[in-house]
Structure 1
Amino acid sequence: MRILIGTDTYPPDVNGAGYFTHRLATGLAERGHDVHVVCASEEGAPGIAYDGEVTLHRLRSASVLVHPTMRTAVPLGVAGHVARLMDRLAPHVVHAQSHFTMSRATVRQGRISGTPVVLTNHFMPDNLFAHAHIPERLQGLAGRLAWQDMVRVANEADYVTTPTRRAAELLAQKGYERPVEAVSCGIDLERFHPRPAERTAARTGFGLPDRETMAFVGRLDEEKRIDELIRALPLVHEERDLQLVLAGTGQRERELRELAAGLGVADRVHFLGFVPDEELPRVYVAADLFAIGSIAELQSIATLEAMSTGLPVVAADALALPHLVDHGRNGYLYRPGDVAGLADRLLAVLRSGREAMGAASREIALTHDHRRSLARFEEIYTQVRPTLYGPRGLVPGRAASPAGRPARPRRHPVPA
C-alpha cells in the first residue's frame, strides 16, 4: 500500500507521539509499504528528506513560542500543499496522528479526495496547559473547547484508534459517539530487554554512583509531576540509599534542581539531559526501578520501555497508567499528590520482590510487541479500503464522509 501519514510532531521532536509516528512509518516501510510522512520542517525551510525508506515531506515551519524545542507548520498554504501531495501520490490510505494543523489538513484532504482516513488520538489537554501558560481558572473551559475540536476532526475519519482502552473511554466521554479501537503504540522488545549484569557498567557510563537507582525518562514539564519523585527521596533515604536519575529536558528543570537543593538531596538527583535515542536503553539498564507521577498519559511509551527492560514500576493511579501496572504484581500505584504514599511504594519495591516484579513487567510488555501493532494497523488499512474502493478504483457515489457529505472523486484512478 501507499500510505500517507500526517503528523504535527516527528523526530527530532522529543515526545511519545513523535516517537510512535516514527516507529509506525519506518516499521510499515520495512514491511514493504510505500510510506510518506507530511510534517513540519525541522529547520524552517520546506523540502523533501528521507528517513530510511520513508519519504518525509517537510513543510515550512516556525518555532512554537510556548515550546521552544518544537516547531509547527505555518498554517498558510498547508491545505494546498497537502492537496497537491494527495493528488500526486494517490495514497491508498491516510493516517493522521492528531487534530492539529498538519493532521487536520490531512484528514480534510483525505475526505475531499475520497481516500480512507484513519486517525490515532494522542491528545490530552493537560499536556498543553503549561506550555500555553493557560491560567488554572481557565483550564476547565480550555479543555472542554479543545476536546470539542478534537471530536469534530475525529468525526471526519473513517476509523479512529487510541493507544489504550482508557484513552478510548475518555474519547467517548468527551462526546465521540462512534467505535474507537485501542491499538498499543507498541515497544521494540529486542531493543529494550533485561540486562541486569550490565547495570553497574551502565551507571559508570553515565557517571552515576553505583547505588540503588530510580529512573524517569521524559519531558521535565509540569504535568509529569517529577517534583513528587524528588520530594519522596528524603522519606525513602531514612531507610534506603536511593538516587533519582532524570533523562530528558523541559521547562521545569531549573525549578527541580532548586527543589532538590532545598530538600538536601541534590547529590541524589542526577539530570542526564537529552539522551540520544541509541543510548536510551542503557538508562533503563542502569536503574533498579522506574517511577512516573504523570496524570496525563494515554499510554506512556517510557513506562513500556522500562517494563520491557525488566524494571518494576511505581506509577500514579491516573488515566492509562493503571493499564500497565498490575498493582502488587509488577509494581505499585499511588494516589497522585500523595508523596508519603509514593515513598511507601518505593520502599515496598526496594525491600523485596524486585526480580519477580521485573519479570512480571517484562511479561506484560510482551503483549505490546510493536510488530503486533504494525500488523493490526495493516489490517485496519485493508479494512477501511473496501468501504470506498472496488477492484478498479473509486466506486462512484460511495465515497462519503461519516456525516453523509459526498467527497470529490479523484482526477485519476487509484493504483491497485
Structure 2
Amino acid sequence: MSTSFATRSPAVPRAPGRSGGGRPARVLIGTDTYPPDVNGAAYFTARLARGLAGRGADVHVLCPSPCGRPHVAERDGVVEHRLRSLPSLAHESVRLTLPTGVRGHLNRLLDRLRPDAVHIQNHFLVGRMLASAARVHGIPVVATNHFMPENLFDPMRVPEALRPHAARLAWWDLARVLSRTEHVTTPTPAAAELLAGRGFARPVEPVSCGIDLVRFRPFPGSAPAAERRRTRARLGVPDRTTMLFVGRLDEEKHVDELVRAVARTHGVQLVLAGRGAHRARLAELARAEGVADRVVFLGFVPHRDLPDVYRCADVFTIAGTAELQSIATLEAMASGLPVVAADAMALPHLVEEGRNGYLYPPGRPGELAARVGAVVAEEAERVRMGAHSRMMAARHRLEDSLERFERIYRNAAVGARP
C-alpha cells in the first residue's frame, strides 16, 4: 500500500496534505450522512473533508445519494462518490444505502484510489462495509464516533420498555465494528469516557469537531447593537432580547424546555432555527403556554445566513441530553454568545459556570429561565460572558483538528500507534 502519510523529520517539515512521494495524500471518508443531510455528523464530515482538501489532500467521500441514483460529483474540492439509496424510516433527511452490489463497487474503488487511510464516521451501513473492504485491501481504518442510541429511539419509534435492551445491543454492535480499526476518535473527553463506560476497551482519543473562527464571529466595529437590529430585520426576527436554539426540532433535543422557559421570562423571545418532527408540537405548546408571539420558527436556515442567525441573538440555549459535543454551541460561542445549557453529557465541557454562561438541571425549565434572566439582566455582563465564550471557542480551532487528523492518518498508514 501507499505510504503517503509517512512520518516526517521534525527538522524538515512537509507541507500538510502532501505525500512522501510528492503526490497529495489521499483519504477516503465513509459516512451514512452527508450534506444535504441536516445533522451534526453530516456537518462535521463536510467540514473535515473540505478542510483537508483546502490543506492540499486528495479527499474522496463515500456516502448515500440524496436522490437515490448513484453518481460521482466534485464539490468544494472534494470528490463525492454517491451510492444508490432509498429513504430511511429514521429521519426525513437521512437515506439508506442499498447493500446490493456495494461490495464489488468498494473493491473497485479501493483498487483505483489506493487511499492512504480510510476514515469512517459511523458504524452503520456505509462505515461498516467500507471498513470491512479496507481491511481486505490492507488499508488502515480510522473511526470517529458521533453515535448515541438515544438519538435514534424517537425516529425509530422504539417502545420505552425496549429502549434499555436496544441501547445495550447498539453499544455492543458499535464496539464490535470500532474494535477492528486502527484508531478511534470522538469529539470530547466525555464522549470518550462514555465509550469506555459501555465496555469499549480500546483507547479513544478526543478530537474536537473544530470551529471556523473567521466565519463565526461577533459583529465587527463599534456599533454591534445597531448591526443586530438590522440583522434581525433582515431575518424577520422581532427586535427583542433573544434566546436562540439552532438544531433539529426532535425529541432528544428537548426543545419543549426552551419553550416553557421563555414562558417564565419577561420580555424575552425564543428563536428556533431548524426543522424536525416536533415543530408542530412545539408550536402548539407555545400557544398553550401563551407565548406563541414570542416563539419564532425560522425553519431551515441556508448555510450563508447561519452566522447572522447567531449574531442576532443575546444568549444561546440548549436543552439536549445526548450531545457528544454540539457544533451549534461551539458556533454560538465563536459568535460571542453566552450559553445556558443542560448539565448533561458533553455540554458541561463548553460552559464555565458564571464566566461564559450557566448550566441548569435537565428537565427544569424554571431554572433554565432563571439562568437566562441572569445572563440578559445587564448588557455589560452579557458582553463579558460572550467575550469569554469566544475565547473558549478558540481552543477548538478547525485548523488544529485538521492537523491532528492528518497526523492520525500518517501514523495509521505506517502502522505506528498514534
State the TM-score, normalizing by the size of structure 1: 0.91
- Equivalent AA in structure 2 for residue 132 of structure 1: M
- Equivalent AA in structure 2 for residue 222 of structure 1: E
Counting matched residue pairs gives: 386
User: Hey, what's the Cα distance between the residues in 2 that align with 1:223 and 1:66?
Assistant: 13
- The corresponding residue for 1:331 is 357
Deviation per residue, 1:116-159 (Å, 9 max, x gap): 11000000111100100001111111111001000000001000
The question of 1:236 aligning with 2:265 is answered yes
- The corresponding residue for 1:397 is none
- Equivalent AA in structure 2 for residue 70 of structure 1: V
- Equivalent AA in structure 1 for residue 162 of structure 2: L
User: Hey, what's the Cα distance between the residues in 2 that align with 1:289 and 1:79?
Assistant: 48
- Equivalent AA in structure 2 for residue 304 of structure 1: L
- The corresponding residue for 2:385 is 357
How many Å apart are 1:67 and its aligned residue?
A: 1.5
- The corresponding residue for 2:402 is 374
User: Hey, what's the Cα distance between the residues in 2 that align with 1:76 and 1:313?
Assistant: 46
The question of 1:62 aligning with 2:86 is answered yes
How many Å apart are 1:69 and its aligned residue?
A: 2.1
User: Hey, what's the Cα distance between the residues in 2 that align with 1:264 and 1:6?
Assistant: 46
Select 2:125's aligned residue among 101, 112, 124: 101
1:73 and 1:102 in contact (8 A); partners too: yes
- The corresponding residue for 1:126 is 150
* Identity within the alignment, %: 58
The question of 1:52 aligning with 2:81 is answered no
- The corresponding residue for 1:298 is 324
- SS where residue 215 of structure 1 aligns? strand
User: Hey, what's the Cα distance between the residues in 1 that align with 2:103 and 2:353?
Assistant: 47
Select 2:44's aligned residue among 20, 26, 51: 20
- SS where residue 68 of structure 1 aligns? coil
The question of 1:43 aligning with 2:71 is answered no
User: Hey, what's the Cα distance between the residues in 2 that align with 1:374 and 1:33?
Assistant: 11
- SS where residue 42 of structure 1 aligns? coil
How many Å apart are 1:344 and its aligned residue?
A: 1.0
- SS where residue 294 of structure 1 aligns? coil
The question of 1:281 aligning with 2:307 is answered yes
Select 1:203's aligned residue among 225, 229, 232: 232
How many Å apart are 1:88 and its aligned residue?
A: 1.2
The question of 1:193 aligning with 2:217 is answered yes
1:96 and 1:118 in contact (8 A); partners too: yes
How many Å apart are 1:384 and its aligned residue?
A: 1.1
2:90 and 2:152 in contact (8 A); partners too: no
How many Å apart are 1:19 and its aligned residue?
A: 0.5
2:271 and 2:298 in contact (8 A); partners too: yes
- The corresponding residue for 2:4 is none
User: Hey, what's the Cα distance between the residues in 2 that align with 1:228 and 1:247?
Assistant: 16
User: Hey, what's the Cα distance between the residues in 2 that align with 1:378 and 1:109?
Assistant: 22
Deviation per residue, 1:364-415 (Å, 9 max, x gap): 0001010110000001111111118xxxxxxxxxxxxxxxxxxxxxxxxxxx
How many Å apart are 1:79 and its aligned residue?
A: 2.4
2:185 and 2:207 in contact (8 A); partners too: yes
State the TM-score, normalizing by the size of structure 2: 0.91
How many Å apart are 1:161 and its aligned residue?
A: 0.2
1:94 and 1:118 in contact (8 A); partners too: yes
How many Å apart are 1:338 and its aligned residue?
A: 0.9
User: Hey, what's the Cα distance between the residues in 2 that align with 1:103 and 1:376?
Assistant: 21
Deviation per residue, 1:170-197 (Å, 9 max, x gap): 0111111111100000000000001134
- Equivalent AA in structure 2 for residue 301 of structure 1: I
Deviation per residue, 1:262-317 (Å, 9 max, x gap): 11100000000000111111110110000000001000000000000000000000
- Equivalent AA in structure 2 for residue 387 of structure 1: G
User: Hey, what's the Cα distance between the residues in 2 that align with 1:311 and 1:174?
Assistant: 34
User: Hey, what's the Cα distance between the residues in 2 that align with 1:31 and 1:171?
Assistant: 31
- The corresponding residue for 1:408 is none
Deviation per residue, 1:36-85 (Å, 9 max, x gap): 10000010000101112111000000001231222121122222222221
Segments of structure 2 that go 5 or more residues without pairing to the other structure are 1-24
Segments of structure 1 that go 5 or more residues without pairing to the other structure are 389-416
- The corresponding residue for 2:295 is 269
How many Å apart are 1:339 and its aligned residue?
A: 1.2
How many Å apart are 1:206 and its aligned residue?
A: 1.3
- SS where residue 65 of structure 1 aligns? coil
